Amino acid sequence: MVALIHLLASLAGITCVTRAIPTAGNKSGAVSVSTVTPLGLAQGALDVDGANRFAVRYAKAARWAPSTIVTEWELPNGSDDPTALPLQCPQIRVNASTYSEDCLSMILYVPVNVVAGSGVPTFVWIHGGSFDSGSATLPGLDGSKLANATQSIVAVIQYRLGALGLLAPDGSTNLAVKDTINAIKFLSQVVPSFGGDATMITLAGQSSGAGMIRTLLATPSASSLFRSAILQSDPMNYGFLSVKTQALLQSTFNDLVSCNASDTACQMALTLDKILDAQVTLENEAMNLDASTGIAEPLRPVKDGQLVTTPLDSTAPFPTVSKPLLFTNVKNESTPTIYGLLLPGPDPIPAAFFEPVCEASLGVNRTDIVMNSSFYPVDPNGDARVPLQLLGTDYIWRCPTWTLARTWVAHGGSVFVGMFTVGATDPSNLDVPFCLESGVICHRDDIQIVFGTVPNPTAEQAALTKDVQARYKMFLRTGSPNAPGLEPWPAATTTTIPARELGVQTSATGVDPVGACSPSFWGAAVQYDYQFFNI
C-alpha cells in the first residue's frame, strides 16, 4: 500500500509524508518523507526546523581516482536510516569515527510546501576549511530555516579534502574540483523532482568554499551548470596553484608516504593515518618549499590549463563573463589568524613586531610600501596585532575581492559587494578572545547569520538574518539582492565599489570605506601574492 501511495504521489508531483517507525537508528520517531526521482525513491525526514531533509550519496570514487556520479538514489555510507547524516571526509582535528573515504554526499533541505513543478531555485552551499577540513554537518549549516526563508532548495555538499582530494600520487589534479562538479550535475538531475528548476542553480560558499566557486568560474566546462554565485570571505590573494608548484608538492608528498607515482598497490595499502600525517608535514613545510603556497591554504586547486584554464585575476587576459555575482567579507577577517594562530596570548604584542611580521608575509619591498603608507598606523604603545589584523583583512580578503569585482564588471558581469558589520561568533572562534569583543566580526561569523541558525539571536542578529535571507531570496531568482522594502544595494562598477554594510551602519553612507582597497594601492603599489609570484 505504501509503495502504491508513493507511485500515485509521484504521478501527481507531490512529496509523500509518513510517520516513521522508531528503530535502533531512528529513535526519535521522526516524520519520514519520500520523493520519487529519476534515480529512484528518495527517503528523508522532516527536519526539526521545518524543512524536509534528504541525505544522499551523489558520487563514488576509489582512492585518488576521479569520482563518478551515482546512477541510483543511495543513502550515505551504506546507511538504511533516512534520518542519518553523512560521515565527513577524512581530515585532522576530528575523531576518526566521524569520517570515511566514502564521503561524497550532500544534504538537501526542501520547504514542505515546495513540490514538483514549483520551479524554485537551488542554493548550493560549499563549506570552507582551507580545503583540508570541514563538512556538510558543520555547526550552523542546517539549511532548513534558510530553505524556508528563501523558498528554495538548499543543498550542502561535501568533497574530498586535503591530500585525498588534491594530491593524487599519479599527478592527477583537482579531484576535489571534479567532485564538486559532479555534485552539481547530480543536483541538475534530481532537483526537478523536489520542485527545483535545474536552470536556476546558485553556488554559495565561505572561505575555501568560495575559493572552490572561484575555481568553477575559471572552469569553462562548469559554466553551464550554474547561473549565479555568492562568494563569502574568499581569500582571493592566494590565487590558484601553478602546475610547477603542484608538482613539487606532489613529489614531496609521494616521498613522505614512500609510494611512487605508479605504485598503485602501495598507495591503496596506505592507512588514513599515514596519509593525514604526511599531509600535515607537507602543509607545515609548504612555504619553505615554495613561498607561493602561502600561510593558510597550501593545498588548493591548480590552474592546470585543462580543467581550470584561467587564473581569473590580473596576471593574464580576463575572459568575457556574464554571471551575476555577490561578494561579501566580514569586518575582521584575519583576526583568528593573527590573534589565534600567529600571535596568540592575552598579553599585547609590542608595536615593534608589526614590521618583521609583515616582512615574513610580504617581503622587504612590499613591507616598505605598507610601512610608509597611512593605511595601517602603528601605535608605539599599542598592540601590534591591531594594525596586523587590519592589514591581513585587506591583503588576503577584502582588497583582492574588490579588485576582482571591478574586473568582473569590466568584462561583462554584474557584482554586488557587501561587508558584514554584525555577526554571530562561530564555534571555531570561541578560543580567540578578540573575536568575542563587542563589534568584532571574525572570519566565519557570517555563516550562522546567513543560515538563520544563531542560537538565541539578539534583535540585531535576527534583523540582519531576515535582511540577508530576503536579499539572497531575490538574488537566487533575479541576480540582484534588491527587494521591495529593503535599502537599495547598488551594483559595483569598474571604478566604484559601494560595499553595503550588512548590520550596524559604521559609516555615514552605510558603505564600507575604500581605504587601502583603492586600485592604486593593493594590486598596484603593493602586489597581491598571485601577482608577486606570477601564479
Catalytic residues: 207
- 279, 162 contact by CB (below 8 A): yes
Residues β-bridged to residue 215: none
Contact 158, 104 (CB under 8 A): yes
Sign, CA torsion 450/452/455/458 = positive
The residue written with cell numbers 539582492 in the block is: 481
DSSP-derived letter for residue 497 is -
Burial class (CB within 10 angstroms; exposed 0-12, middle 13-18, buried 19+) of 2:
exposed
Residue 323 DSSP code: -
C-alpha grid cell, residue 499: 560595499
The CA distance from 157 to 176, in Å, is 12
Owner of C-alpha cell 526519535 = 28
Strand ranges in 291-359 using DSSP code E only, listed in sequence order: 324-330
* CB neighbour burial string for 214-253, b if at least 16 within 10 angstroms, e if fewer: bbbbbbeebeebbbbbbbbbbbbbbbbbbeebbebbbebb
CA torsion angle 511 515 520 521 (round to 10): -140
For 74, list phi and psi in degrees, rounded to 5. -135, 140
Helices (H) and strands (E) in the chain, counts: 15, 13
Tell me the sheet residues that pair with 332.
442
Residue identified by cell 541510483 is 72
The H or E element containing residue 178 is helix 175-190
